[in-house]
Structure 1
Amino acid sequence: MKRHTKRTLQIYWESLKGKRVLSFFVILGIVASSIFNLAPPLLYKEFFNTLLAPRDAQTTHALVQIIGFVFIVHFIGWFFWRLTSFIKARIQIRVLGRLFDRVFNSIHHHSVGFFNNTFVGSLVKRVNRFVFAFNELTDTFLYDLLGTGVEIVIITTVLFFQSPVLGWIILGWSVVFIFFNYLFTVYKLKFDIEQSALDSRTTGHIADTVTNQINLKFFASLQSEATLFKKIHGEQLAKRLFRWNLEYTYEAFQTLLMIMLEFAMFYYAIRLWQEGQIQVGDFVLIQAYLITLFNRLWGFARVIRRIYEQLADAEEMTEILETPREIKDLKRAKDLMVKKGAVVFRNVNFFYNKTRPVLKNFSLSLKPGERVALVGPSGAGKSTIIKLLLRFSDIAQGSIIIDKQDIRKVTQDSLHRAMSVVPQDPILFHRSLMDNIRYGKPGATDDEVIEASKAAHCHEFIDELPEQYGTYVGERGVKLSGGERQRVAIARAILKNAPILVLDEATSSLDSESEFYIQEALDVLMKEKTVIVIAHRLSTIMRMDRIILLENGMIAEQGTHTQLLSQHKGRYRRLWELQAGGFIT
């Protein structure tokens, strides 16, 4: 058994905790139902034998009595089947909920890098496959494997008492049939795996192009993408056709096996009848059991394949569940306690992919309540500093300290609660504006949300919407403009009111008038907070307490706006002159 298969089954078994005894009774119910469902052919055997008796009142009474027993047996079988179905449904719903919770929490404990390297659509599909594979596997085990096994044992036993030869024929044929089904399924499995990979590739391509649909329009690339997609789904469909033809060929073979069994059984039964060992009713019994057996085993190859497919679907998610998390809390990590807001980067080194250096022996101290701006060319390390402060990645050497506490020794949740972040391109939930803003402070009242919105100057456009604060913003907030999304993000940060504030080009999507009002709101927001601002537009950081110019992961210059401009050959002054003069003229 493969490692991920074993682990998948272990996870499912763990999720059954507290429901295992009840599950055992479900198994007993399925067995009882199978037994009672196979009893009517025995009664019909007597029924047809009785039909050969004289047509008198005694015979009629006997026939009615048999039919009455058939009704009772069917009713008992029906009762056990319905009862176990209801119990099983309650168990499965509880387990599905546990699996959903487990997968959701596990996914969101992965690092930002994990999501950067994973297709969202493919990940969501894996979640659903993993959870509902449990439902499919339990149904397959109970109704197909267990039910089939019980019926083969019962049929073989009953026919063995009619004639040992009939019993051995049924048992031997069933073993051979199942064995060939297993061999065929194993042979076909590699093609099923290839099909699954092609399915995922097709789904991933659709998700990728839907996510980038705006780029398809910008670059007028619909035709080229359609051609590529046609090639991708062409390979998918060609593989599917090959698998279908393989299945049809095997179905023809197993039909031949069934014809041979029916011929052998009746040929031998005729000899037994000729010798007076069986009666007419026994032919009815044999035919009824053959029909039951054929119905059970006809799709047995599909049953085996379905088990493999369900396990394969689940294992895709199990692999993610078993993937070590890049960023983990220490076992005894404590909550971060921020009283002042001092931040210290001490001899920090960081590499992307362990090869490309981004920060080299970087040191920086922020006093409590100090407002510091990070500027510099693209790739200088500005965004990396923020990611490391939020511990989206771990540093290679050095330490990052907040109020004398190493961020690697505190919980990630408490670290993130201590910071308000307004990113350059805010992403909103497909929820109402009220819910999106309240996300910064889940227990906030409606009045507090509206007050924060007014401070961020987003109340004005929200008030003009038909549903106002009840308006849904669309996936990622696509129904709002860039500036509107940014103002919502600022309102959320104002509401959160964390001691450390991070602004990553927080006014980059605003027009001049809106930026003026937002700067006023940010001035209020930044009071008594430690603030780190990433800026490309130097006009937005003139009033910062300190400006850090980064180049190649190191501090090239630092000081106030006035101090840096006084350096005649300084790099900051050159950037300022380019923005204030060169681009305008």
Structure 2
Amino acid sequence: MYMNTLRKRSFQIYADHIRPYKGRVFLSWIFLLFAQIIGLVPPLLYKRFVNILSSGTSMDTDISMLVRIILLVVVVYIVMNICYRIAEYVVVHYVARIMADLNQTCFAYLHRHSHQFFSNNFAGALVKKVNRFVNSFRVLFDSFYWDLHGVVVRIIVATCVLAFLNIWLGVILFVWSILFIFVAFLFIKKKLVWDVQKADQDSVVTGVLADTIANETNVKFFVGSSREYARFETETRTQQYLQERSWMVNYWLNVAQGVLLLLVEFCMMYYAVQLWRQGLLTIGDFVLIQSYMFAIIAHVWDVSHIMRRLYEGFADAEEMAEIFETPHEIVDVKRATTLVVPRGEIVFDDVSFQYHATRTIIEQFNLTILPGQRVALVGHSGAGKSTIVKLLLRSHDVTAGKLMIDNQKISHVTLESLWQHVSYVPQDPILFHRTLMENIRYGKPDATDEEVMEAARLAHAHEFIESFPEKYDTYVGERGVKLSGGERQRVAIARAILKNSPILILDEATSSLDSESERLIQDALQNLMKKKTVIVVAHRLSTVMSMDRILVIEEGKIVEDGSHKQLLRKKNGFYKKLWNIQAGTFIM
């Protein structure tokens, strides 16, 4: 039942994308239909040709008639090919456009999913599902449009022509065709079970491979090659087993089809001979019957291959259809308004948040951050600091309570307007595999080159960028792997400087910097923070000494609140203990 739902969903998506091109689809179908019908005319002409040769009439009359038949056959083939080429020309253009539209639809739908969705799915597996979904449209379209349609037309036309010669010839051919297709359907339906499992396993294998490639440094330096190989071998062995099961079903299908072909050839020829002995068929009729038999057998034999492609296409499409059936977790409410941030006040009002309704991270959390205030969140790992940031960014929605910016509930404003007013520098920034200029300009797409360079100077990134041979046109590699951690961090800070949003979030933004880089960047951050509401998540207390407020978070609650000096005056305070532990490493 679930598979049927996914199949219907796939059909619905494909149909929605075909609809804008329905005029072109109909035009190409008319030419295709005419070409397939006219392609069955030559056997009728050959029948006449053979009958003339075997008639024993005047040689001059025969030659004249034979030449006319040959010329007519040539004309038929020319017209047929012209119709096929016109149909193909039209199809090439609209199928390419539909595939591009499908790619864009998948892209848009995926990127509306929440951060949690991408945390739970391999990037490589998602990419492969999109590619399979788009490619399956081409496979399904070709199978239905070019192949299955041709089989149906040929069976109908050939059955009607043979039935005109003798009703039982038409009945035998038609019944056999239905039986052949039914047997193919039974086998292919069984094969689909294995194909679906194999498609799922293909995604697992791809995901494991992509994960190990992305973590190649960990694999090497933690001596994990043998463990990862064993894991990958287990998954590929499962993939191998599923592939073998699928192919064995196909093997027995070929055996059954071979038996059915022998059966229909014997029945048709035996019955035709009986009719010939009774004087009801001519030699030309035998040529006609055999020509249609060869044409039908060749195309009906292809039905199994067509159905296999159809089911494989459906199996591939259903993977992505399942994602389309997965609703977006974080969406704009109806009539969501555009966030306006004239001041930058942030209020957490009795906010609670749970993961999967089982693990409470934050409960009845209250916090007011005044406009232009710089607030640091410190505490042990897992205390809830990053969760507070994710709630503000709406990577998650609050379970209870209200989260407001300038008296506007962020759940009632559009996500795009929320993100436009927030600059975010994560702990481990990931860059696009593009140039440094493009990565920094991502914060402000219409920025000039001079503005990009100025932002890089403020983030102390300009110096190392200028050291590259290609300078700002240097490609950073996938995820920015060609840069050091500190360099990536400074590029991310430059991007945030360029964006210049009224609210700034720094999530361990200087954690990847060495002491010298951190010293250089502190001045840039001080300039960046001016006239902004700032939230800084930090473990290194040296980065938060100048904050207006420092909040110590423990188990999702604020246990201490004050400036650096105020918190140090608390004798047994949590912040003071952390300070004493880290004091020896600070740059004063």
TM-score using structure 1 length: 0.97
Pick one of 381, 397, 400 that aligns with 1:397. Answer: 400
Considering only aligned residues, what root-mean-square deviation do their CA atoms show, in Å? 1.6
1:507 to 488, 498, 510: 510
Helix, strand or coil at the partner of 2:19: coil
CA deviation after TM superposition for structure 1 residue 200, in Å:
2.4
Of residues 324, 335, 350, the one that matches 2:338 is 335
Partner of 1:299: 302
Q: Distance in 2 between matches of 1:204 and 1:426?
A: 22
- Kept after mapping to 1: 8 A contact 2:440/2:491: yes
> Residues 213-292 of structure 1 correspond to what in structure 2 (within 5 A)?
213-292=216-295
Partner of 2:129: 126
- 2:273 corresponds to which letter in structure 1? I
Show CA shifts across 1:528-560 (max 9, x none). 111111111111111111111111111111111
Q: What's the counterpart of residue 13 of structure 1? A: 15
Correspondence 1:148-159 to 2 at 5 A: 148-159=151-162
Specify which of 22, 25, 30 is matched with residue 23 of structure 1: 25
From 493, 497, 513, the counterpart of 1:494: 497
Q: Distance in 1 between matches of 2:498 and 2:234?
A: 50
* Aligned counterparts of 2:586 and 2:491: Cα–Cα separation in 1: 30
Partners in 1 of 2:586 and 2:502 — Cα distance?
Answer: 37
The secondary structure found in structure 2 opposite 1:292 is helix
Q: Report SS of the residue matched to 2:20.
A: coil
1:582 CA displacement: 8.8
**Separation of aligned partners in 1, 2:194 and 2:555:** 50
Residues 134-213 of structure 1: pairs in structure 2 closer than 5 A: 134-213=137-216
Offset at residue 456 of structure 1 (A) = 0.9
Give yes or no for contact 2:383–2:555 (8 Å, CA) kept in 1: yes
Write the distance in 2 (CA, Å) between the matches of 1:120 and 1:173: 48
Off by >6 Å, runs of 4+ in structure 1: none
Alignment of structure 1 residues 62-81 onto 2, 5 Å:
62-81=65-84
Name the stretch that deviates more: 435-444 or 189-198: 189-198
TM-superposed deviation, 1:312: 2.1
Verify the 8 A CA contact 2:345 2:370 in the aligned structure 1: yes
Q: Give the letter for the 2:556 counterpart.
A: G
Decide which of 439, 442, 449 is 2:442's aligned counterpart: 439
Deviations 1:136-162 (A, max 9, x none): 212111122211111000000111111
Distance, in Å, in 2 between the alignment partners of 1:81 and 1:20 is 19
Cα drift, residue 125 of structure 1: 1.0
> Which residue is equivalent to 1:44?
46
* Residue number in structure 2 paired with 1:409: 412
Counterpart of 1:364 in 2: which secondary structure?
A: strand
Structure 1 stretch displaced more, 56-65 or 570-579: 56-65
Residue in structure 2 matched with residue 59 of structure 1 by the alignment = 62
Gaps spanning 5+ residues in structure 1: where? none
| CA–CA distance in structure 1, aligned partners of residues 198 and 325 of structure 2 | 24
Distance 1:187 1:99 in 2: 29
SS, match of residue 360 in structure 2: strand
1:318-467 → structure 2 map (5 Å cutoff)? 318-467=321-470
**Deviation, structure 1 residue 27:** 2.2
Q: What is the Cα deviation at residue 86 of structure 1?
A: 1.3
Structure 2 residue ranges without an equivalent (≥5): none
Q: Deviations over 1:329-373 (max 9, x none)?
A: 111001100111111111111112212121121111111111111
Distance 1:36 1:366 in 2: 78
- Aligned counterpart, 2:524: 521
Residue number in structure 2 paired with 1:100: 103
Q: Is the 8 A contact 2:440 2:452 kept in 1?
A: yes
Alignment partner of 1:565 is 2:568? yes
Residue type matched to 1:271 in 2?
Answer: Q
> For structure 1, which segment, 443-452 or 17-26, has the greater mean C-alpha deviation from structure 2 after superposition?
17-26
Count of paired positions? 584
2:284 aligned counterpart, secondary structure: helix
Determine whether 1:556 maps to 2:559. Answer: yes
Q: Tell me the SS of whatever aligns to 1:299.
A: helix
203-212 vs 156-165, which deviates more?
A: 203-212
Query: For structure 1, which segment, 388-397 or 314-323, has the greater mean C-alpha deviation from structure 2 after superposition?
Result: 314-323
Q: Are 1:85 and 2:88 matched, yes or no?
A: yes
- Describe the shift of the 1:582–1:449 C-alpha distance in structure 2 as closer, same or farther (beyond 3 A): closer
The CA deviation string for residues 267-287 of structure 1, in whole angstroms up to 9 with x for no partner, is 222222222222222222111
Letter in 2 for 1:178: I
Post-superposition CA distance 1:370-419 (Å, at most 9, x none): 11111111111110110000011011111111111110110011001101
* Separation of aligned partners in 1, 2:569 and 2:20: 73
Deviations 1:161-195 (A, max 9, x none): 11112111111111111111111112222222232
Q: Please state whether the residue corresponding to 1:444 is helix, strand or coil.
A: coil
Cα distance in 2 for partners of 1:500, 1:549 equals 21
Of 198-207 and 523-532, more deviation after overlay is shown by 198-207
| TM-score, normalisation: structure 2 | 0.96
SS in structure 1 at match of 2:504: strand
Offset of residue 265 of structure 1: 1.4
